[in-house]
Every structure is written in structure tokens, then in C-alpha cells.
Structure 1
Amino acid sequence: MTYQKITIPLDHGNRNMKTAEEVFTSGLVESDLKPVLGEYLQYNGKYYSLTGERIPYMRDKTLDDRFFILTLFGIGKELERRTQPQKDTIYQVELPVGLPPKHYGALFEKFGQYFVRPGVQRFTFNKREYLVQITKAAVFPQDYAAAMTIYPQIAAYNRVVTVDIGGFTLDYLLLREGRPDLSVCDSLEKGVITLYNRIISRVSSDFDMLLEDTDIDTIILGKNSDYSDSVIRLVKQMTKQYVDDFLGALRERGIDLKTGCIVFIGGGAKLLREYLENTDKIGKCVFVEDICANAKGYEILYQVQKKSGR
């Protein structure tokens, strides 16, 4: 038996799971039977397949094993991409992960322990068997991690506010001279899923039509769609109102959006970039386009931590 050490950062989002290179929906189905089509993971006598239906929002993702199984999917995808699987090799995985700043203090210890389980985890992914031992899980604040991927662009500012527009939550964090101030942070239940739900309900009521999240994305991004001008106009109006509302909510919490630099993070920020750039409520802003930025930032912070001997 041989051992191979490998570091695999993972971002456990409410909408998507992200490694440094892979993105997949935070949703899965369990079965006693082997799936006929698509990729699957076999673990502890059960079969798991990824699905486009995300897991309902969980503040504490350690309450059941679903996010652990999703973690094994992420590890499997990265091992498949990075290595040529060798029989009788145990991959000793170091796992940099993260939590929203608001929940970091209360949950970081529990979250780290959730992944580090006794013994070797044996699972099959895409018909290849893997032996994995998660030896360490290092937990960092989300958003701060993503900001570290663009540090040269924000290093000159004494005051930086990160705004992470995720699936269910909208998280903000103040950085003072490059360091996170966890006394000035919060996690608001104002992510883009709330926008989707409002739009879907309104369009169903007004037009007797059923929209999906991907249809709404298409309209917001100004791409060609099969919907009428009336539907498109309503979606855009509701999106603008959503942006105005959450910017107003930040201002009510004493967050000055016109001083220093605002760093917008997450798939929601990428989706809403045109609306955010065209508002007069924000001063200097920078967008982290890479939706895998948190995962990449976790690895940056983990390497810094290792070098410092902590």
C-alpha cells in the first residue's frame, strides 16, 4: 500500500459545490440500485447521483451526511482530473474549506471535525475505486478567501467590504488593512434564490407560465429567449428592485458602499453585474468573476497557514 498526499480545497455553497476547477449543483439522490446513465458514486453500499435540484438551505451542513457525500464527489472529480488512479494507493487529502463569516465563530470547529472521519473512506466514482483518508480540514471565512485571489487589486485600500451574493444568502464582511473584521459581518437571507422564487411566483400569477432558474438567468443576462417582451420586462424590473433592496439593506446596517472598495463575489454577483455597475449607490467596486474563487482562496490561506507553522 502506498500513500499520496494531496490538497483539495472545496467550497460548500447552498447552490453549487466548487473545487478550484469543478462546479456542480449541491444536490444528490440516493439509491439502492446502480444508475443506468450518468456519473455516480458508490459509498457504504449505496449509490449516489448528482441532481439539478439543490438541497434546501442548511445553516449547519453537518446535520446529516449529504454534504459529506458531495465532498466525496468533489474529491473524486479532482482525483480523476489530476491523477492517474493507482491501485492500492491511499490518497491522504488535506481539505481547505470555509464558512460564511457570520457563522464562522460558532461552527468552524464542528465543520472541520465533520470531514475528518476514522479510517479510510472507500468509494467508487465513475467506475474507479478510490481509497481516501481526509487527514485534515482547515476552515476559513468565505469572502475573505475569495478576496485574497485578487489581493493586488485591493491592497491599496484601508477599507474593503466584500459582498458575496450566493444562492440563499448574501454575506458581507469588512476588511481593515487586509484583515477580516468579524465584528462587522452578517449573513442575510437575500441570495438569488429568493429573487428566483419571487419571479417564478409573479410570472405564474400574471402570465400562467412556469419559469425555471435557468430561464431567469437567460433573461437577466440579456440573452435570446423564447419569452414575450412583457415577461422579459417584468423579470428585469424585479431584478432591479431586488438589487436596490439589498443595497438598501446593507446601507441600513451601516455599510458605506461609496467609501473604500466594494468586492462583489459569487455567482449571483456575476449574474447581476450589469445592474450593480449601473447603480449610483456604489462607489469603487471590483468583481471576482471566478465562481471558484472561494475554493482557490482557501488553498491560498491554507498554504500561508502551513508556512507559518499553525
Structure 2
Amino acid sequence: MIIGIDHGYYAIKTRQVSFPSGIIGYDYEPYTMQNVLQYQGKYYVCGTGRQTLVKNKTSNDNYYLLTLAAIAEEIKHRKAERKTEVILAVGLPLSSFGREKQGFREYLLRKEQPVRFLYESELYEITIKDVKLFPRYSALALHPEYLKNEPSVLLVDIGGWTVDLMRLDNAVPNAATCRSLELGVIRCIDETAEQVRRNTGLSVTETQIERVLRRESCSMAEEARRIIQENGRKYIERILSAVTESGFDLRAVPTVFMGGGSAILKRHVTAQDAICRPVFIEDVHANATGYERIVEQMWTR
């Protein structure tokens, strides 16, 4: 079974599942077994809140444990056998791909096989046969039409912690153009929550802020809503300004916006931003699905 996983700072995504990257460990059984991973004698509630930011995801076991939870969730949604062999298809930013590739592969592909754990009280026995790593622009594997007949396309991946930039020339990534900006959605949400707290005294949640930024329904004081929308627009202006400062001309090159923040950007971009031809891939599962598609194509060649 091929399972693609997008290990985001903000959320873990598979082809069918997305949950926050938070994880909390317990020595004793928690009050509910929903989203609970049992591994090596401990209990882990997965998808709760947000974990402390770590620049190197291999510095602790959190992302490995979240990977096991993601595998279990994907198997459950596929109604597949809980004892199976798995090939993991995962990604890294192109700007750090060469530096982190081997370490992240070893982090996920551990010697102790098969891996036995319980998830939501169900026993899983997973043999991870291999880990395939790809640069984090694989969502384009699902949308080759965005590159067709375009000599140059700019990719802007708005993630939880970083905004990754890369230009593709004749559908081939230009490694010299890779940039990674620490302007991800987490920063926008944290700054917005603080602004609302200062101006209104209200402590709005991350989920509320996300919904308002996406212009979805949410019961909230009108003043708080106004502040969130204003901050959302300012955040988009910062991203567009940073892209320009990084040497890319949005007026000249078609731009594909993807990642969790692309839906926010789509709802705040105006004609005055003068983006040549913006394309938005709002599907948060797109990278994980793209990783799987590439591995499947490798197998059928």
C-alpha cells in the first residue's frame, strides 16, 4: 500500500485525512480513546492543538508518532487490512531537500519492523518497506495543465510556518530560484489573535480565525471579525511584497498558489495586486495525493 503524507508544521495530511500536528503524551489511559495512539507503553492524543515549533522535525519522536496515526487513519478510511506492508511517500521543501532527505528517510524507516501499535484501540501491524521522498511541489503532478504551454511558472506554497517559493522553467524546477520565507499561516493567526485580544478583550480561537479569513460562517462580534479581515489583508500584502523582494515579478509570470494558506490568499487578492495569472490549489490533500501518484507512476514504468 502506498500512503502519501504531507508533514506540515500546522497539519498532517494524507490523501483523505487532515488533522492538526499537535500531540500530547500520557502515561495513563486518557478519558477517551478517540484519536489516541498507543505505542511502546504510552498513550498519545493526536491532532490536539499545535506542538511547539521545531525547525528540525527529526529532533524528537513527535512526527514519527503522528506518521503512525496518519497511516492508521488512512488505512481506516480505505477500509484496508490493519496488518500490511506500506511504502511511505513524503515530501520536503526544495530549499532544504538535499540537506534533509537522508535524515528524514532514516527517521521514518526504522530498523524495528514491523511496527506494532494500537490506534483507537485497534491493533495495527505495519511493515514500512520503503520511504520515497519528493520535493514539496508534487501537487502539480495532479495538475500538469497549469504548466502546459507556459515557459515559466512561479510556485508559492503557503504552509504553516514557511512560504516556499520556486520557479519552474519549461516544467522543470529551477533550484537556484528556491526561497523559504518564515511567513506561514501560523504567524498570521497568532498575530491576529493578539490584535483581537488587545482591541476587544476577546480570546478568539485559531479555528474561528481560520473560518473568518476564509470568509466562512462564524458567530463572532463584528469588531473582532473586522480586525481579522484587516489582518488577513495585511498578511497577504506582506507575502506579495516578500515575493517581489525575493526577485520574482508577479506581474510577469503566472503564479500557482498552494498549501493551507492558498484559500486565505484567494479570498483577499484583488485586481490591484496585479498578479499576472493566479491559480489556486486549495486542496490541502494535494501534495500527499501527488506523492502517491508519482510513486504509482514509478511502479508502472
TM over 0.5: yes
Structure 1: unaligned runs, 5 residues or longer: 1-5
Deviates more, 1:156-165 or 1:229-238: 229-238
Q: 1:36 aligns with which of 23, 28, 31?
A: 31
CA drift at 1:245: 1.3
Which amino acid counterpart does residue 87 of structure 2 have in structure 1? E
Which string of whole-angstrom CA distances, capped at 9 and with x for unpartnered residues, describes residues 190-247 of structure 1? Answer: 0111111111111211222212111212322333444333322222222111111110
CA contact (8 A) 1:158 1:260 kept: no
Q: 2:72 aligns with which of 76, 84, 95?
A: 76
1:67 maps to 2:63: yes
Deviates more, 1:108-117 or 1:53-62: 53-62
CA distance in 2, matches of 1:232, 1:77: 34
CA drift at 1:277: 4.8
Equivalent position of 1:132 in the other structure = 126
Identity %: 31
SS at match of 1:267: coil
Q: 1:14 aligns with which of 9, 14, 17?
A: 9
Equivalent position of 2:288 in the other structure = 295
SS at match of 1:8: strand
Equivalent position of 2:148 in the other structure = 155
SS at match of 2:267: helix
CA contact (8 A) 1:147 1:263 kept: no
Equivalent position of 1:24 in the other structure = 19
- Which runs of 4 or more aligned residues in structure 1 lie more than 4 Å from their structure 2 counterparts after TM superposition? none
Where in structure 2 are the equivalents of 1:1-310 lying within 5 Å?
Answer: 6-37=1-32, 38-85=34-81, 89=83, 91-118=84-111, 119-142=113-136, 144-307=137-300
CA contact (8 A) 2:212 2:229 kept: yes
CA contact (8 A) 1:166 1:267 kept: yes
SS at match of 1:10: strand
SS at match of 1:244: helix
CA contact (8 A) 1:219 1:236 kept: yes
CA contact (8 A) 1:27 1:51 kept: yes
CA distance in 2, matches of 1:186, 1:236: 27
CA drift at 1:56: 2.4
CA contact (8 A) 2:16 2:77 kept: no
CA distance in 2, matches of 1:115, 1:225: 39
| Matched length | 299
Which amino acid counterpart does residue 24 of structure 2 have in structure 1? V
CA drift at 1:82: 2.0
Which amino acid counterpart does residue 45 of structure 1 have in structure 2? G
CA distance in 2, matches of 1:224, 1:25: 21
CA distance in 2, matches of 1:79, 1:208: 44
Equivalent position of 1:3 in the other structure = none
CA distance in 1, matches of 2:266, 2:232: 11
CA distance in 2, matches of 1:184, 1:94: 31
**Distance 1:303-1:259 versus aligned 2 partners, 3 A rule:** farther
Question: TM-score, structure 2 length as denominator?
Answer: 0.94
Which amino acid counterpart does residue 76 of structure 1 have in structure 2? A
Which string of whole-angstrom CA distances, capped at 9 and with x for unpartnered residues, describes residues 116-145 of structure 1? Answer: 111211111122211111111111111x20
**Distance 1:11-1:73 versus aligned 2 partners, 3 A rule:** same
CA distance in 2, matches of 1:224, 1:120: 45
**Distance 1:258-1:83 versus aligned 2 partners, 3 A rule:** same
Deviates more, 1:27-36 or 1:189-198: 27-36
CA distance in 1, matches of 2:140, 2:62: 28
CA distance in 1, matches of 2:101, 2:159: 19
Which string of whole-angstrom CA distances, capped at 9 and with x for unpartnered residues, describes residues 224-279 of structure 1? Answer: 44433332222222211111111011101111112232111012111231212544
Which amino acid counterpart does residue 24 of structure 1 have in structure 2? F
Which amino acid counterpart does residue 73 of structure 1 have in structure 2? A
CA drift at 1:167: 1.2
CA distance in 1, matches of 2:258, 2:48: 22
SS at match of 1:200: helix
